[in-house]
Structure 1
Amino acid sequence: MYCFMSTIDPGPPPQLIQLILSYLKDGQSTTEFDLRVMPLAQDGSTRRYFRVYSTNKDSFIAVDAHKTGGDPKTLSAPNQNQTFHYLACHLLERGFPVPRILQHSSDFNFYLLCDLGEVTLCSKVLENGHKNKKSTLELYQKALDLLFKLQTEALINFEHSWCYAGSVYDRNLILENELNYFLKAFVKGYLKLTVSPKSESRLQAEFQSLADEALLAPGDFFLYRDFQSKNLMLKDKMLYLIDFQGARSGPFYYDLASLLNDPYTQLLQTQREQLLSYYYKQLCNRYPKSAPDNDTFTFFFHLYSLVRTLQTLGAFAFLTRQGRKHFQSYMAPALENFHHYLARLSSSLKLDTLVELSHRLYEQNLNVKKRSP
């Protein structure tokens, strides 16, 4: 018996239902079983997730990813779904905690994953609250341990040809997918602010300068690109990695900045500093001769924190205008991060136009929580 537990969601497509049934029937002497399928929240993805319960197997996750896929036979490069599959297999082989792929369609547009539950690092930290500082720090230290291991070991036997959206963190990605994404999607698209041609020209020069500085950091590490609290599942006191299909090689600062400046959990500044020190000690222990000095480490952390924050604001603006309005609530803490890191960089880098723009946002007292997309 098949039962879909929602009156709002249209339910899984026929291709996914067939994949589910095929998996449940595999190795079974009977083809009769109760089946319940429940839709899960999409959050920022176009993929649709369903939790499947049956009488003959443990619960698992069914994924409709046809919007991020395509026909592999007509593509010269891997699509997002294929990249996810390649990386999941690679990371699992290297001993990293990722959801096991139980079955997938031939075109990778539909697949089944083992069920990691519903608890993320984000939900656990918010449940603990800032009063339970010890528990929060311990969870984040565990996340930093996993991140450091990932950054320093996951490139072993890594094939850059697996990457669907670029194999390295390069200038074009910084300029177009981080800095100008903020300008186009957040400043112009969401806030509807006008930027004069003269100011935009100066802003582009400053973006070029930021990219130049960012590329001075060593780039031979595994870069997850979205290592944040909602992409870390917590099951049986162990953290698991999800949504890693944007991975490539790049500087270790980016993912470190992503995690510690995460607007979803809004760590206190004192907590960030403690965790940053914790990570830096690991770095110095691993690379005693080549680790950057503390000033260099801090500078690049501030730089990548600014770059990542601008990308985050662009993403929140884009998703909000796509109808996912809950992302508006995260814009205010992201803007606080923007002002915080810009202030720390403006004395060593010439970012006058970006500072002027930050003043416009502050002086106009833009309440991003109440704006309409």
Structure 2
Amino acid sequence: MNRYKSLQQFLNPHFKEDEYQLAAITGDASFRRYFRINTAEQSFIVMDSDPDKLDNTPYIELNKVFSKHGFKLPKILQADEKQGFFLLSDLGNTHLADLLGDEDRTLHYKHLIKLSAQWAQTPPAQYMKVFDDDFLQFELSIFSEWLVDAFIDCSLSDEQTQMWQDACQLLVNNALAQPIVTVHRDFHSRNIMRTGQQWAIIDYQDAVQGPVCYDLVSLLRDCYFQLPEHELDYLLHFAYDEFTKQQLIHGITFEVFKRWFDLTGIQRHLKAAGIFCRLKLRDGKSGYLNNVLPTLQYISNVSKDYPELSALSEWIEHTIIVQTKKRLDKEIK
């Protein structure tokens, strides 16, 4: 309540005599909160990002970087960095997620694959961390800590522990084998918006230098939407051609590219499943629990295609999914 009063105090000087209405918007998976401001003539977004919980400097500085390189982002119109209040341009209400039933869906994805390739070519900048071995291992540890240990309280045998360590190292090696580019990290249907005739990108503040397939996985293996396999295969071939044309990849076969894509997807989905559980256990946000089982099933299904990950697939299918279903049943009750 105190932050809400401070937020109003931040806004009042900017609107002065204009009457405005402030309405909460569904928040994201972070500690940030968003509100839409409507006046008689226009609308804005205000972001509440408590600096005691989040470092807002990357949000500010990377906004400058990506805007400079021609990408459509929310404009920061006013800011109180000390309190963590930001007045932003309003990009509207239409996300890619709202357009996935369109007959033009495949065309949307093709445009966004091209956009992701352009994003990847943004020069490295300050506040972009490097997706190195330690970073990747940390992301994988989110799965073991928050889903395996905390959510389902599953103890691993020595054999399972070794299997998990071997699988993690394989996934890390796969990521590090790829060309390193600028990666959004959450380039999915809820962070891509359609505004006018343009695609706009939000939630860009966690951009890193990382593997070339990472954003493509976020887009085509979205945790919130599953493309039919024939459409996914078509778009993956399109991406291979586009990434080759834009010189993001050189001298590799489609089969190598697909392996990079698949294994990057497994790594990302392991992290995502852990984060969904962390959001429930640590942050009290249960809205993401519906995404846990589809994400785990993806991990199991794709791992089956790679003999070196067959043990991981079997463990996910017959132990992790089974115990997760039991825990989710308790949550519903």
| Alignment-mate amino acid for residue 113 of structure 2 | L
- Verify the 8 A CA contact 2:73 2:201 in the aligned structure 1: yes
Q: Distance in 1 between matches of 2:241 and 2:227?
A: 20
* C-alpha deviation, 1:368, in angstroms: 6.5
- Verify the 8 A CA contact 1:263 1:334 in the aligned structure 2: yes
* C-alpha deviation, 1:113, in angstroms: 0.5
SS in 2 for 1:280: helix
1:60 counterpart (41, 44, 66): 44
SS in 2 for 1:372: helix
Q: Distance in 2 between matches of 1:369 and 1:238?
A: 39
Aligned CA-pair RMSD: 2.4
- Verify the 8 A CA contact 1:187 1:193 in the aligned structure 2: yes
| Alignment-mate amino acid for residue 49 of structure 2 | A
Deviations 1:262-310 (A, max 9, x none): 1212221222111111111112222398242111101111110110111
| Alignment-mate amino acid for residue 366 of structure 1 | K
Deviations 1:190-241 (A, max 9, x none): 122222244224422331232123211121x111111111011112232110
SS in 2 for 1:358: helix
* C-alpha deviation, 1:365, in angstroms: 8.3
Q: Distance in 2 between matches of 1:325 and 1:70?
A: 23
1:176 aligns with 2:138: yes
Q: Distance in 1 between matches of 2:178 and 2:166?
A: 20
| Alignment-mate amino acid for residue 137 of structure 1 | T
1:121 aligns with 2:121: no
Deviations 1:28-54 (A, max 9, x none): xxx422121111111312111111112
1:143 aligns with 2:117: no
SS in 2 for 1:344: coil
Change (3 A) 1:199 1:98: same
Change (3 A) 1:250 1:353: closer
1:20 aligns with 2:4: no
Alignment of 1:225-244 (within 5 A): 225-244=185-204
The percentage of aligned residue pairs carrying the same residue is: 24
Deviations 1:347-366 (A, max 9, x none): 2x356356334332356683
SS in 1 for 2:88: strand
> Which residues of structure 1 form unaligned runs of 5+?
1-9, 25-30, 72-78
Q: Which residue of 1 aligns with 2:86?
A: 111
1:323 aligns with 2:292: no
Q: Distance in 2 between matches of 1:110 and 1:139?
A: 33
> Which residues of structure 2 form unaligned runs of 5+?
none
1:159 counterpart (92, 113, 125): 125
SS in 2 for 1:230: coil
1:186 counterpart (137, 140, 147): 147
2:178 counterpart (207, 212, 217): 217
Q: Which residue of 2 aligns with 1:76?
A: none
Change (3 A) 1:173 1:206: same
Q: Distance in 2 between matches of 1:296 and 1:211?
A: 16
* C-alpha deviation, 1:311, in angstroms: 0.9
Change (3 A) 1:353 1:95: closer
Considering only CA atoms, is the larger Rg found in Structure 1 or Structure 2?
Answer: 1
* C-alpha deviation, 1:323, in angstroms: 2.3
Q: Distance in 1 between matches of 2:209 and 2:173?
A: 17
- Verify the 8 A CA contact 1:62 1:111 in the aligned structure 2: yes
SS in 2 for 1:180: helix
- Verify the 8 A CA contact 1:232 1:242 in the aligned structure 2: yes
